[in-house]
């Protein structure tokens, strides 16, 4: 638990026994409060203290929004377990007041406590000050034990209505001034909510909290006394500002006048319509529960000690529906339209429009099935949308067509649902627009339609009035963690941009090929962002890579500049996701390890699309876990959005669906936990389908493109297994066993075989590899926890499908997508290992985090030392032909005028090598390159103009014959790292 203990070093009591906390001051709570706080506050707080004194609160207890602790100190006869507040100033006073065993600073929508930890949560006049109160109630439900008790007090709608100043202004006919007075008073009081009990009942039910008892208190006359008390309390406020104390002379003779003024209101009977209300609610351990508001029961000690009969709400969240007529109301039948979430209370979509929708898409589906080449995929989508229309026709009331176009009702749930098929339709139109023919409109129009479809889907799937107001994951992170994260990000970016164009020292052919695809976007040769290009890479990423080329020109820097940014963002995301899943220590250590990982750094410095895959898989799986943890529709939709976007990047589009299938099996095994989230899960699936629909449709039209790399590189295709058995002379079982071992231990053994890296060493060093094995063991024995099972699924899906089942493992470019999972497991291992060492040796636990950070940095330094040391010196990146192409391109760019280049490279390499096309300026216009067949000379060498003859080393013997045929030229040779000389040049300049 990430807590800040400012008081005594007590551990939080986890006993489940109830505790009566009646105060020794219960004889006259009013006097005790008057001696400590201003009169108006003393009046309200002393009335509220009577409630808490006669409620049995199961332990441990959390005081949410505890402030300075004065209320808890005067109300209870002993410190309660935890006081929680967002402000340090009041918490320091709470420590001095010894009101709590521990105080914790943080925000209510991200409390650093375990699930199902507290027996009770109290919150006295706090929730009305919180704008996004629903997320706080969701957190309360999370930290409460099943059946745990929530007791809260807050202003009601009558508070605003009964304000004396406003009613006085209304009597004078100044209604506008009265409304302004109400708004001003609430603003001064920092009230975001003065709502009806029905509205609070709905909020509680969404969080899985069922109200079992409530009542009004604090009359209109008491409220007017409170109003005047604000003015009379100004001297106390000045005193508090100067001395830190509200009352300097807390003796009865000095306080007799305010005591006589407010005592009648302290002793008054409870009104039928009070300006304040108290609610007792139970945690049902599921969300939402039936929204049910029992009849108010006025305060009696006996009624608070034992609530029975019709007002009791079962812990499982089911209310006694059969007796509602006598005991209470179903809130959804009386709540105003602003908070109602039912189709019956909205204007809805007319049955007419559902009828038209069904007919139109049935016709579309039939049209797609006609012709010589029926499009079954589009037909299925059309029929699915038609089915949606038929369902709406069945379940929706008939309303006027005009009402549907009333924009004031656009947020009604039935109207929002209309945007879901609209999102699918726009996404479908975007695909069709981008794939008409070579004369189709600008592809950016298709992208705009696609984005519009995604936005429509998000709007349609988001619950009314909820929007996307979910907490920023970094919002509640302490400053020292944010500063640490900032430092890690800066270091991660630095090691990814340092010597970017000189290390690796040349452009690889793969980089050049992808760069040419981005250039094809600029030239209008690639017009569809939803197709595939070189090696079946999705084309949308080429539109993104085209941007730096337009800004920086055709250069090595333009090819590589996006990769460091993606690498740095992945490191930052590693910290956030690791922190959410496994805590601050694991998140911080994993981020440091990933920041310095030699293979992640390498792919963050070259112009391949592989570096996008770890980012999107980490983002998608992290959001899925956070959505499950928070039970939040917006986060589920965000997870679906990220998952859908991953379809437009190479490895993740193939492996993430398999991971999600594994996660689905976990869901089925824990169905009782996931069942409440099934609607949110379907919302995530829907938005993922809307986002990925154009790419899915392309693969549906060209299925071989989706499976191309697996077919061409798979061990069960193209007779690979037969050839291996024949060549090695060993059995099929032995070959498969060797393949499995090298594939499943790809991070542990064997040199990386990827021609995009080839470091000449294992992916992980000895110690990192050992820690990974420990981390895997810890995760396996804890696999029942979702966070561990999710990490294991991620890790093993990559190793099985991208390593074991493909030839030549280990290959770093294929398994890079698992790098965040690898370092999460290593960080888990390090944390577990040193926590046990510290426990056994009794070392001060405050040293644990610095030690772990030091070890993580040490492992990263070793990796970076290798990458910027021996790997850079050895020039292992690429091969001879790659270096020849790069150096020839650099030389040709230094030539002035027009040149004809005769390339004597066959059969080793040809002028079609992609580096020439990308790097050489005015390729095949100012510089024309011609391949010369082996054993022959250039056929036209005596014409006018400049000519250059380039020979690879194995064809150098032909140079002397050329000199005799074409005299007067100059011979030069170029040294390289893969060959020396790398190539020969014979130039003839006219």
pLDDT at 46 over 60: yes
List, for residues 691-736, the tens digit of each pLDDT value.
Answer: 999 999 999 888 888 888 888 889 987 788 888 888 888 999 999 9
Q: Give the rounded distance of the alpha carbon of 366 from its chain centre.
A: 40
pLDDT at 405 over 80: no
State the pLDDT confidence band at 352, using cuts at 50, 70 and 90.
low
pLDDT on residue 375: 66
pLDDT on residue 98: 82
- How many other C-beta atoms are found inside a 10 Å radius of the C-beta of residue 158? 21
Q: Across-strand partners of 970?
A: 987
| Residue tagged 């890690």 (tokens) | 488
pLDDT on residue 285: 67
Kindly list the distances between the CA atom of residue 245 and the CA atoms of 70, 233, 281, 327, in Å, as whole numbers in the listed order. Answer: 12, 13, 35, 47
**What are the b/e assignments for 79-106, b being 16+ CB within 10 Å?**
bbbbbbbeeeebbbbbbebebbbbbbbb
State the pLDDT confidence band at 189, using cuts at 50, 70 and 90.
confident
| Of the candidates 390, 454, 462, the residue with the CA atom closest to the CA atom of residue 428 | 454
The interaxial angle of helices 443-461 and 413-434, nearest 10 deg, is 160
List, for residues 202-232, the tens digit of each pLDDT value.
Answer: 889 888 898 888 889 888 888 888 777 666 6
pLDDT on residue 655: 93
pLDDT on residue 231: 60
Kindly state the percentage of the chain with pLDDT values over 70: 79
The better pLDDT of the pair 763, 651 is held by: 763
| Of the candidates 507, 611, 522, 603, the residue with the CA atom closest to the CA atom of residue 559 | 507
**Mean pLDDT (whole number) for 283-292:** 72
- How many other C-beta atoms are found inside a 10 Å radius of the C-beta of residue 759? 20
**Mean pLDDT (whole number) for 131-149:** 89
| Residue tagged 């900032």 (tokens) | 486
- The residue count of the chain comes to 990
**918 contacts 943 by C-beta, under 8 angstroms:** no
The DSSP call for residue 714 is B
The DSSP call for residue 26 is T
State the pLDDT confidence band at 69, using cuts at 50, 70 and 90.
confident
**Backbone φ and ψ of 122, nearest 5°:** -115, 150
| Element (DSSP H or E) covering residue 984 | strand 983-988
**Mean pLDDT (whole number) for 768-796:** 93
Query: How far is Cα 257 from Cα 267, in angstroms, rounded to an integer?
Result: 16
pLDDT at 241 over 80: no
| Residue tagged 């627009």 (tokens) | 433
Query: How far is Cα 159 from Cα 185, in angstroms, rounded to an integer?
Result: 10
**317 contacts 290 by C-beta, under 8 angstroms:** yes
- How many other C-beta atoms are found inside a 10 Å radius of the C-beta of residue 281? 29
pLDDT at 290 over 60: yes
pLDDT on residue 165: 82
**Mean pLDDT (whole number) for 478-498:** 93
pLDDT on residue 836: 86
- Report which listed range, 119-123, 183-187, 349-353, 783-787, is most confident: 119-123
Query: How far is Cα 310 from Cα 313, in angstroms, rounded to an integer?
Result: 8
- How many other C-beta atoms are found inside a 10 Å radius of the C-beta of residue 970? 9
Q: In the 3-class helix/strand/coil scheme, how is 814-881 assigned residue by residue?
A: HHHHHHHHHHHHHHHHHHHHHHHHHHHHCCCHHHHHHHHHHHHHHHHHHHHHHHHCHHHHHCCCCCHH
498 Rama sector, left if φ>0, alpha if ψ -120 to 50, beta otherwise: beta
**Mean pLDDT (whole number) for 585-593:** 96
| Element (DSSP H or E) covering residue 412 | none
pLDDT at 927 over 60: yes
Q: What is the mean pLDDT of the chain?
A: 82
pLDDT at 37 over 80: no
pLDDT at 340 over 80: no
**Mean pLDDT (whole number) for 835-845:** 84
| Of the candidates 310, 332, 314, 333, the residue with the CA atom closest to the CA atom of residue 322 | 310
pLDDT at 476 over 70: no
The DSSP call for residue 131 is T
**Mean pLDDT (whole number) for 464-481:** 56
Query: How far is Cα 758 from Cα 663, in angstroms, rounded to an integer?
Result: 33
pLDDT on residue 327: 43
The DSSP call for residue 4 is -
Q: In the 3-class helix/strand/coil scheme, how is 736-765 assigned residue by residue?
A: HHHHHHHHHCCCCCCCCCCCCCCCCCCCCC
Between β-strands 80-85 and 100-105, what pairing exists: parallel, antiparallel or unpaired?
A: parallel
Query: How far is Cα 424 from Cα 401, in angstroms, rounded to an integer?
Result: 23
Q: Which are the contacts of 420, defined by CB distance < 8 A and separation ≥ 6? A: 388, 456, 457, 460, 461, 686
pLDDT at 257 over 60: yes
Query: How far is Cα 356 from Cα 358, in angstroms, rounded to an integer?
Result: 5
- Report which listed range, 38-47, 290-299, 898-907, 960-969, is most confident: 898-907
The better pLDDT of the pair 379, 500 is held by: 500
* Least confident span in 147-151, 716-720, 760-764: 716-720
* Least confident span in 600-604, 717-721, 794-798, 848-852: 717-721
Tokens of 971: 């011979």
The DSSP call for residue 803 is I
Q: Across-strand partners of 41?
A: none
Kindly state the percentage of the chain with pLDDT values over 90: 43
Kindly list the distances between the CA atom of residue 955 and the CA atoms of 554, 886, 905, 932, 937, in Å, as whole numbers in the listed order. Answer: 31, 19, 7, 11, 11
Q: Which are the contacts of 644, defined by CB distance < 8 A and separation ≥ 6? A: 454, 687, 688, 689, 690, 691, 692
The DSSP call for residue 800 is I
**Backbone φ and ψ of 37, nearest 5°:** -135, 165
pLDDT on residue 323: 32
pLDDT on residue 306: 39
């Amino acid at each position: 638990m990430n807590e800040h203990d400012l008081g005594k070093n007590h551990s939080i009591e986890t006993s489940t026994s109830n505790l009566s906390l009646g105060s020794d001051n219960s004889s006259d709570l009013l006097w005790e409060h008057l001696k400590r706080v201003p009169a108006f506050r003393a009046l309200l707080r002393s009335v509220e203290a009577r409630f808490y004194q006669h409620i049995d609160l199961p332990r441990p207890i959390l005081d949410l929004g505890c402030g300075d602790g004065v209320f808890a100190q005067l109300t209870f006869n002993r410190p309660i377990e935890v006081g929680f507040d967002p402000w340090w100033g009041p918490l320091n006073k709470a420590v001095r007041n010894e009101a709590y065993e521990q105080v914790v600073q943080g925000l209510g929508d991200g409390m650093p406590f375990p699930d199902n930890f507290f027996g009770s949560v109290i919150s006295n006049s706090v929730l009305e000050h919180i704008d996004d109160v629903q997320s706080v109630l969701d957190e309360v439900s999370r930290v409460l034990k099943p059946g745990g008790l929530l007791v809260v007090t807050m202003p009601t709608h009558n508070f605003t209505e009964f304000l004396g100043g406003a009613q006085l202004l209304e009597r004078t006919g100044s209604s506008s001034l009265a409304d302004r007075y109400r708004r001003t008073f609430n603003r001064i009081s920092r009230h975001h909510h003065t709502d009806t009990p029905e509205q609070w009942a709905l909020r509680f039910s969404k969080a899985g909290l069922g109200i079992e008892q409530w009542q009004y208190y604090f009359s209109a006359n008491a409220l007017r006394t409170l109003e005047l008390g604000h003015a009379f309390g100004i001297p106390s406020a000045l005193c508090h500002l100067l001395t830190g104390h509200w009352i300097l002379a807390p003796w009865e003779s000095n306080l007799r006048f305010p005591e006589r003024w407010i005592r009648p209101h302290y002793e008054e009977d409870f009104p039928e319509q009070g300006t304040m209300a108290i609610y007792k609610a139970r945690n049902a351990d599921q969300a939402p529960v039936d929204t049910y508001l029992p009849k108010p029961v006025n305060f009696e000690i006996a009624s608070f000690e034992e609530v029975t009969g019709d007002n009791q709400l079962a812990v499982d969240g089911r209310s006694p529906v059969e007796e509602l007529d006598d005991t209470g109301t179903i809130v959804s039948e009386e709540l105003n339209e602003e908070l109602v979430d039912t189709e019956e209370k909205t204007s809805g979509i007319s049955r007419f429009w559902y009828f038209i929708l069904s007919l139109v898409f049935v016709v579309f589906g039939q049209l797609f099935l006609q012709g010589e080449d029926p499009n079954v995929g589009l037909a299925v989508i059309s029929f699915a949308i038609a089915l949606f229309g038929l369902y709406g026709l069945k379940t929706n009331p008939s309303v006027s067509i005009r009402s549907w176009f009333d924009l004031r009702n656009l947020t009604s749930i039935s109207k929002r649902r209309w945007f879901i098929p609209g999102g699918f339709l726009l996404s479908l139109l975007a695909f069709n627009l981008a794939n008409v023919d070579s004369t189709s409109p600008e592809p950016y129009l298709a992208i705009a339609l696609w984005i519009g479809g995604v936005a429509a889907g998000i709007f349609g799937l988001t619950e009314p009035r909820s929007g996307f107001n979910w907490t920023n994951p970094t919002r509640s992170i302490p400053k020292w963690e944010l500063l640490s994260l900032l430092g890690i990000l800066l270091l991660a970016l630095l090691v990814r941009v340092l010597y970017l164009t000189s290390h690796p020292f040349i452009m690889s052919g793969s980089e050049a090929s992808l760069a040419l695809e981005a250039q094809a976007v600029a030239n209008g040769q690639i017009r569809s962002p939803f197709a595939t290009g070189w090696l079946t890479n999705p084309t949308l990423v080429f539109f993104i890579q085209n941007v730096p080329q337009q800004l920086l020109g055709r250069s090595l820097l333009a090819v590589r500049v996006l990769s460091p940014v993606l690498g740095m963002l992945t490191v930052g995301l590693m910290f956030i996701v690791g922190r959410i899943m496994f805590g601050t220590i694991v998140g911080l250590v994993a981020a440091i390890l990933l920041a310095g990982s030699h293979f992640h750094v390498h792919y963050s410095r070259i112009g391949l699309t592989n570096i996008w895959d770890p980012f999107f898989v980490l983002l998608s799986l992290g959001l899925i876990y956070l959505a499950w943890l928070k039970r939040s529709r917006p986060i589920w939709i965000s997870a679906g959005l990220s998952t859908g976007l991953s379809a437009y990047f190479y490895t993740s589009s193939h492996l993430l669906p398999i991971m999600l299938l594994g996660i689905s099996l976990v869901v089925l095994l824990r169905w009782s936990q996931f069942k409440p989230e099934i609607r949110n899960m379907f919302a995530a699936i829907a938005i993922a389908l809307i986002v990925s629909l154009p790419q899915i449709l392309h693969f549906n039209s060209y299925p071989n493109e989706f499976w191309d790399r697996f077919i061409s590189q798979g061990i069960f295709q193209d007779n690979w297994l037969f050839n291996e058995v024949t060549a090695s002379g060993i059995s099929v079982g032995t070959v498969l066993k060797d393949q499995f071992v090298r594939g499943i231990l790809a991070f542990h053994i064997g040199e990386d075989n990827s021609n995009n890296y080839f470091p000449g060493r294992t992916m992980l060093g000895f110690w990192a590899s050992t820690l990974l094995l420990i981390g895997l063991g810890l995760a396996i024995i804890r696999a029942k926890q979702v966070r561990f099972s999710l990490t294991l699924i991620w890790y093993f899906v990559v190793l099985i499908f991208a390593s074991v089942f493909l030839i030549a493992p280990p290959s770093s470019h294929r398994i890079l997508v698992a790098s965040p999972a690898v370092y999460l497991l290593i960080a888990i291992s390090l944390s577990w290992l040193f926590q046990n060492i510290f426990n056994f040796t009794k070392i001060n636990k405050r040293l644990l985090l610095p030690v772990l950070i030091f070890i993580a940095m040490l492992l990263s330094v070793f990796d970076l030392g290798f990458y910027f040391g021996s790997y850079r010196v050895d020039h292992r990146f690429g091969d001879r032909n790659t270096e020849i192409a790069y150096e020839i391109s650099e030389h040709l760019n230094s030539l002035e005028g027009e040149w004809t280049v005769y390339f004597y490279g066959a059969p080793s390499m040809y002028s079609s090598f992609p580096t020439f096309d990308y790097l050489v300026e005015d390729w095949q216009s100012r510089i024309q390159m011609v391949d010369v067949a082996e054993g022959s000379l250039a056929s036209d060498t005596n014409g006018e103009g400049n000519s250059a003859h380039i020979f690879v080393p194995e064809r150098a013997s032909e140079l002397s014959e050329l000199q005799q045929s074409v005299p007067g030229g100059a011979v030069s040779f170029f040294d390289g790292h893969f060959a020396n000389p790398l190539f020969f040049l014979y130039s003839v300049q006219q």
